Chains A and B, each alone.
Chain A
Amino acid sequence: MKGLSHNLRRLACMLLLTLSTAALGQTRDFDYRLSPQQVADGVYVLIGKTEDFSLDNGGDIVNTGFIIGREGVIVIDTGSSKRYGEQMRAAIARLTPLPIVLVINTHHHPDHFLGNQAFAVDTLAALADTRRAIEAEGAGFLDNMYRLNGDWMRDTEVAIPRRTLTAGPLEAGGRKLELVALGGHTVADLAVLDTPTGTLFAADLVFNKRAPTTPHAEIKRWLQSLDQLQALRFNRLVPGHGEVTTGTDAIEQTRQYLQWLDQTLRDGAEQGLDMTEMLALTVPDKFAGLAEVRTEFRRSVTHLYPAAEQAALQRGR
């Protein structure tokens, strides 16, 4: 019953969108125009826009990547929709005839796993907590993504990864990887280091010139994870959002923003500010260059201020 009404609602949504698109005389070809950039030997990334989800970008706001090993291909995150997954798969096939042997979801946010359907189900893999979180929250994300991205989402369903990954070295497709199990952006965030080239896929633990998102964040743990990433030896870093970088600048930028955010929330609660007063605060110029920073700050207040308020009220006892 629930599934039926879900589908009906989605159908109604799509119909409305189709009609309104038709009314505006727009046509879309639903082609993300993915162009893999080679950043190291056998290592490719697909850089998404540093925007929020929209009917225009169809959810192409995330970085994904793949590594072509000696015997097979490793995919790191699958994008926001079935169409994205399919187009990513086609882009890989244009570069190599090798089979895709492992598809990693770095964490349970929808822009990182909703392309899973395009890949063989027994190749889908994630940390145990990520698998559980996709199972628990995937359907809710999906509804929201249809609303935000419209027909780009057509036929997208949640495909839960079957394989469980654990921290440590892993060989796949004849390629040596190091899996670094961290957390703080979500309950579980997996960074992947391609050992031969020193390319670090840092997942959404690192944002580059784009404000971090925090719907499931635990900032203290996130900051610890950034310290661990910084201690790794890598030649280049692929952030979850924003351009690839060779240094630790994006880690530092993410750290400074999160520290400021955390301090601002704690200070506000300690001064007795109401949430509406917090929402009206201005973001310092220092962070003005981060894409979407005003929007993300307001979201973060909604997500994280209640815990800061509770702590401040407890201290008042």
Chain B
Amino acid sequence: MRIIRTLANAATLLLFALPLQAAPQPDSDPLASPRWVDMQRMFFRDAEVVFDDRVRVSAPTTAEDALNVPVAIDLGSLQGVEEVLVFADFNPIVKALSYEPGQARANLAFRLKLQQSSPVRAAARTADGRWHVGGTWVNTTGGGCTLPSTGTGSPEWQQRLNEVSARRWPRIDGGTRLRLQIIHPMDTGLAAGIPVFHIDTLDIDTADGRRLMRILPSEPVSENPLFTLDIPPDVLGQGAIRVAGRDNNGNPIRAEIAP
């Protein structure tokens, strides 16, 4: 009898313990988005996915300008990140960009266009193949993706297309902040009569060829994109930073940013 009771107790304990042990299920999306299951199918297939508080997405709760919603990805103490995806569940083009941190920190800030209120999420893939997902809801009146860029209506961008403005700042920790902006309309192809036209590759390297970060922007990245990234101490030395990239029409982007 006693053995049976003990077994029963153990079973009860196991029953209660099990749900705590199990990996998060799709329906446990902390943002409670009805699109989450689709997102998981679209981006992660059979890979392991965990919601991870270390993956922080900073964005305004209510976006004042749907064409320029500021987003900062901060991966905090998460180590060994090989690739980061940023996407918005309810955008007509879901993926905003991806990036591969090299010797730069795995954080990145930029602005994106939102068509309607949506979760904005970052998913970071670590070396073990696991995806760590974090995010936040952003409310907006919308229209961000189907409006023409201001650039398409202005002759200025044609002369300045792919022109890079950039600057580096020394940080208190001895590292370097890099901000760079590229003149580009970043047209989504969703505004009537305006074909898709966006930067699709941006490689940021040290002068001696070490990769700091590769950024692969998609259509929802805002017009004239501005990226903010941080580089740890002792990576750059006195050398320049090299930027090389292109848009989907093959127009090259090139710049050197001296210290």
Contact = CB atoms under 8 A, between A and B. Distances in A.
Given A276-B109, A313-B166, A313-B180, 17 more contacts: A272-B169, A275-B70, A275-B109, A275-B111, A276-B58, A276-B71, A279-B70, A280-B58, A302-B70, A303-B65, A309-B226, A312-B167, A313-B167, A313-B179, A313-B181, A316-B166, A317-B167
Nearest to A269: B179
Which of B65, B111, B165 counts the most A-chain CB atoms under 10 A from its CB? Answer: B165
B146 interface: no
Interface string A249-273: 0000000000000000000000110
Nearest to A298: B60
B168 A276 contact: no
Interface of B: 58-60, 63-65, 68, 70-72, 109, 111, 141, 165-169, 177, 179-181, 226, 228
A299 B168 contact: no
Contacts of A309: 179, 181, 226
Given A274-B70, A276-B72, A317 B165 contact: yes
Given A144-B141, A302-B65, A313-B181, A274 B109 contact: yes
A8 to B, nearest CB: 16
Contacts of A310: 165, 181
A299 B111 CA distance: 15
A272 B177 contact: yes
25 contacts: A272-B169, A272-B177, A272-B179, A274-B109, A274-B179, A275-B109, A276-B72, A276-B109, A277-B72, A279-B60, A302-B64, A302-B70, A306-B68, A306-B226, A309-B181, A310-B181, A313-B165, A313-B179, A313-B181, A314-B165, A316-B165, A316-B166, A316-B167, A316-B168, A317-B167
B64 A303 contact: yes
A276 B59 contact: yes
A312 B203 CA distance: 23
A28 interface: no
Contact of A274 (B63, B166, B228): B228
A280 B59 CA distance: 10
A175 interface: no
B123 to A, nearest CB: 19
Contacts of B165: 310, 313-314, 316-317
Contacts of A271: 169
A33 interface: no
B70 to A, nearest CB: 4
Contacts of A312: 167
A147 B141 contact: yes
B114 to A, nearest CB: 13
Contacts of B65: 302-303
A315 interface: yes
Contacts of B228: 272, 274
B70 A276 contact: yes
A113 B145 CA distance: 29
A302 B111 CA distance: 11
Nearest to A302: B64
Nearest to A300: B64
Contacts of A315: 167
A312 B181 CA distance: 11
Contacts of A275: 70, 109, 111
A271 B177 CA distance: 10
B23 to A, nearest CB: 30
A314 B226 CA distance: 13
B64 A298 contact: yes
B181 to A, nearest CB: 6
A144 B143 CA distance: 12
B57 to A, nearest CB: 9
A276 B179 CA distance: 13
A3 to B, nearest CB: 16
A298 B63 CA distance: 10
A214 to B, nearest CB: 10
Contacts of A298: 60, 64
